[in-house]
A and B are shown apart, each in its own frame.
Chain A
Amino acid sequence: MKILVTAKRVVDPDSKIQIADTQTSIELDDVDFRVNYFCENAIEAALELQDEHDAEVVVCSIGNEDAIQTIRTGLAMGGDRGILVEAEDEVLDGDLVARTLAKLYEQEKPDIFLLGKQAIDGDSNQVGQLLAEYLSLPQACFASNIDIIEDGAVARVEREVDGGIETIDVDLPCIITADLRLNEPRYASLPGIMKAKRKKIEEFELDDLELDTTLKVVTRSMELPAGRQAGVMVSDVDELVNKLKSEAKVL
């Protein structure tokens, strides 16, 4: 079995975010980066399948040169090899990412393509679905449990839907996107980090893949959410109820 899994490099939410002067992107000079949380869940799921089904796990990322480190983290967690498609964030949108990943799919022909359900920077939640569409493959998004059944022919996926869990069977090959409750990702271990140095990472330029690189989504502007206003102390329940009625108008 072969699994292709994504590892997007995103700004660490512990960093202090500032909007760049252009108002259309985040200032990246003084922030830290990490693997997208949901991708980590996807990698962990891939590694669990690696143990159970002797699968090869290929970790891929699209991003600038530094995304190599993100791939390396996936390899240190236990991935077997990596693929980097080099491209700056500004020249990408969700659709182009999906079409790029589709190219990697055609190259690698994995049995399962695992992704995070969304990236914590853009929060778009589109790539997995678009990818399935472009490849005409079945999709199981927001997975909270994955079992491979019927001798590796079918993935039984529990997915989180409003108010409950839906269980679906999808034929392999398929696209699965991971939700946070899927698992608790492991941390890269020191011996794993040392081993990862010797694992192969193939690198492509976005241009090598002969894609139409016109963007469908262009960011016009960004602004920070308004700061929270100071609260007020109320003296008793009556005052609270009054305020909720007259000022907040929620009652």
Chain B
Amino acid sequence: MNSNVLLSERDMQFLLYDVHAVDELTAFDYFSDHDRETFEQFLSACKRFARERMWPSYKQMDKEVPSFGEDARSGQRAICVHPRMGELYSQLANLGVLAASRPYDVGGSQLPITVSTAAMTWLMAGNLSAAGFAFLTTGAAHLVEAFGDTWLRTHFMKPMYAGRFTGTMALTEPHAGSSLADIRTSATHDSGGRYRIRGSKIFISGGANNFSDNIVHLTLARIEDSPAGTRGVSLFAVPKLRPEGDQWVPNDVQASQLIEKIGWKGLPSVVLDYGSEDDCIGWLVGRPNDGLSHMFQMMNEARILVGANAVATASVGYQESLEYAKSRPQGRLIDTEKGSTGPQVPIAQHPDVRRMLLRQKCIVTGGLSLVLETAKYQDIAAHGSSLTVRERAQILADFMTPLAKTFPAEWGYEANTLAVQVHGGYGYSSEYVVEALLRDQKLNSIHEGTTGLQGLDLLGRKILRDRGHGLQLWLETILGDLALAQATESPELKEYAAVLRAFVSQVQVTLRNLSSRTSLSSMLSHSTDMLLALCSFAVGWQWLKIVTQAERAADGGLQGTKCPHIRGLRHCAQYWFATEIPVAVAQLTRVDVADSSFLDCSLDSL
């Protein structure tokens, strides 16, 4: 397969160190052993690992998918993943990614989430299925770390962070996906913290493999006689092999089916059957009936990683189509005389192809910036110097998470279709890699809460229920950046700031009108429009910050406006304000107008 740089390293560095000043975080105690050099060394190792080891196996893993076969270790029939997956996983563990941002006392390295997210972006760009095993394991181990007792930590968390066990997040059931209040998997008290688990889960990513010593499924289940709905859901650690005395014995949880799917092919998604022989033991993690809230405390992190993954997948497609467009000769320039038989020009010379390339770059770099900013608020929320600082950052992180997940997922999908489009018919052929990336990308608007649910979360929970408090704080933060931009000498920045300021006013008017509506369903009927409008606006804000920083770099004579990389960023900003913000304005108008066609149209008229 061709080489692919995966991500623009220049953009990544400019965003991390200039726009988001991630080195500022080292002022907090928790990060004080770090400095820019440790960040750079780690990111460079991840970049190289992604380019040299992960990417070369990506396409094979897309083609040779997991299947039932004989597990060489036990001789039994089991789901076997791609033969190279085990090796990649242990190398990932050796890099130190599993516990990168966790505290020293659990074997971690106290790296800011902003940096570990950037590192993950490299790894996901290299091979998202291998990276998937890693971030699922980190998520599962983190749950045990946060809510489990010493026994659970020793038996499950430690081996997961050490790379010997893998982990999964087992929430979804066939009849309960978006609506987790309806899950039925049951837990009957056995002894101590032990419960007997029965039920089944679907779509569990990484639910089976033939390389790790054990798999710990962090499972949502309902303890007998607990209240109905979300208040009766508890969290359990259910291992594939359970400790009995000094032995690890099979725990009656089976991966009974592989889901055939269109992307993320290297990472098996399975149906898990618990307790078919009534011998499946789960350990309660945290408090009974608090399972969902425990799970949701980890959700921000997981959703930001979905955003990072979407950026990564869009970026690989962009880089692929950029190289293709530079080397594929086709047609002649529109300005050359008709009937000219001179040599054909590379398609990158055609205005429409150029548009598709720049649009992809805008989505990738703007999305990455939004993801990093959100991650930084998470770091501050967890380790900031005072309670006020932490609380404020937490509100911002919570508010921005649906944006940081949705923008890259939705626009990233568009970017991946553009990468296919740039390739013409070859893009539609499986010989080229861009179609695989498009298939991979689609998942990001579905898992960890669909775009529809993100919209409800943003407008319903984070704006209306919260009486606009989070939104207000967020807008104030943005207005602060607008004021900085307006105070510069740059006409370009002044103009962008004015555009965003007008948008802020429109948001405020829209909200006032919304809250005067009487029914909740009419308030929320355009929640996805609201989400998408704010996504695009948020990325406009990121472009303003990027250009502000580019100005500063030029003043400092550092990289200067002559530098092609900085020029590229400025053109992206110009494009976003000229082309995309007007669409966001129209989208916001939709929320205000609240057209009811789809509500009024009954199902038998559809």
Contacts and interface: CB of A to CB of B under 8 A. Distances in A.
Contacts of B149: none
Nearest to B38: A193
Nearest to A197: B38
Contact of A187 (B9, B94, B111, B329): B94
Interface in A176-231: 186-194, 196-197, 230
B25 to A, nearest CB: 15
Interface in B517-574: 563, 565
Given A14-B5, A14-B51, A193-B38, A187 B91 contact: yes
Interface of A: 14, 30, 32, 34, 69, 72-73, 76, 186-194, 196-197, 230
- 8 smallest CB-CB distances across A and B, nearest first, come from A190-B96, A189-B96, A187-B45, A193-B41, A190-B109, A188-B45, A190-B42, A191-B96
Contacts of A34: 44, 48
B48 A187 contact: yes
B55 to A, nearest CB: 12
Given A194-B33, A197-B38, A189 B45 contact: yes
A68 to B, nearest CB: 9
A189 B96 CA distance: 6
Contacts of B96: 189-192
B100 interface: yes
A72 B38 CA distance: 10
Among B5, B35, B48, chain A packs the most CB atoms within 10 A around the CB of: B48
Interface string B18-57: 0000000000000001110110111011001101000000
B449 to A, nearest CB: 30
A188 B41 contact: yes
A196 B48 CA distance: 19
B97 interface: yes
Interface string B119-160: 000000000000000000000000000000000000000000
Contact of A73 (B5, B41, B95): B41
A48 to B, nearest CB: 15
A191 B111 CA distance: 10
B95 A72 contact: no
Among A14, A190, A230, chain B packs the most CB atoms within 10 A around the CB of: A190
Contacts of A197: 33, 35, 37-38
B33 A189 contact: no
Contacts of A14: 3, 5, 51
Interface of B: 3, 5, 9, 33-35, 37-38, 40-42, 44-45, 48-49, 51, 91, 94-97, 100, 109, 111, 329, 343, 563, 565
21 contacts: A14-B51, A34-B44, A69-B40, A69-B41, A72-B37, A72-B41, A76-B41, A186-B94, A187-B45, A187-B49, A187-B94, A187-B95, A188-B42, A189-B45, A189-B96, A190-B42, A190-B100, A191-B96, A193-B45, A194-B38, A197-B35
Contacts of B565: 30
A34 B565 CA distance: 20
A190 B111 contact: yes
Given A189-B45, A194-B33, 7 more contacts: A73-B41, A76-B45, A187-B49, A190-B100, A192-B96, A193-B38, A197-B38
A69 B37 contact: yes
A233 B49 CA distance: 38
A196 B44 CA distance: 15
B48 A190 contact: no
A191 to B, nearest CB: 5
A192 to B, nearest CB: 8
B563 A190 contact: no
Contacts of A196: 41
Nearest to A191: B96
Nearest to B41: A193
B541 to A, nearest CB: 28
Contacts of B5: 14
Contacts of B95: 187, 189-190
Contacts of A72: 37, 41
Contact of A30 (B35, B44, B48, B563): B563
B425 to A, nearest CB: 18
Contacts of B91: 187
Contacts of B40: 69
A215 B520 CA distance: 81
Contacts of A230: 329, 343
Among B9, B51, B96, B565, chain A packs the most CB atoms within 10 A around the CB of: B96
B563 A193 contact: no
A215 to B, nearest CB: 32
B10 to A, nearest CB: 8
Nearest to B98: A190
Given A14-B51, A187-B49, A193 B42 contact: yes
A188 B119 CA distance: 13
Contacts of B49: 187
A190 B111 CA distance: 9
Nearest to B96: A190
A72 B35 CA distance: 14
B382 to A, nearest CB: 18
Nearest to B109: A190
B2 to A, nearest CB: 13
A28 B12 CA distance: 19
Contacts of A69: 37, 40-41
B330 to A, nearest CB: 13
Nearest to B91: A187
B137 to A, nearest CB: 16
A196 B42 CA distance: 12
A10 to B, nearest CB: 14
Nearest to B119: A190
A192 B41 CA distance: 10
A194 B305 CA distance: 24
A194 B33 CA distance: 8
Contacts of A190: 38, 42, 45, 95-97, 100, 109, 111
A32 B40 CA distance: 12
Among A32, A73, A191, chain B packs the most CB atoms within 10 A around the CB of: A191
A191 B9 contact: no
A187 B97 CA distance: 12
Contacts of A32: 9
Contacts of B38: 190, 193-194, 197
A191 B45 CA distance: 12
A134 to B, nearest CB: 33
A30 B9 CA distance: 11
A104 B36 CA distance: 30
A189 B97 CA distance: 8
Nearest to B52: A187
A123 to B, nearest CB: 20
A227 to B, nearest CB: 11
Among B9, B38, B41, chain A packs the most CB atoms within 10 A around the CB of: B41
A30 B3 CA distance: 20
A230 B330 CA distance: 13
Contacts of A189: 45, 94-96
A125 B95 CA distance: 31
A55 B51 CA distance: 32
Given A32-B9, A69-B37, A194 B45 contact: no
Contacts of B42: 188, 190, 193
Contacts of A76: 41, 45
A69 to B, nearest CB: 7
A188 B41 CA distance: 8
B48 to A, nearest CB: 7
Nearest to A15: B9
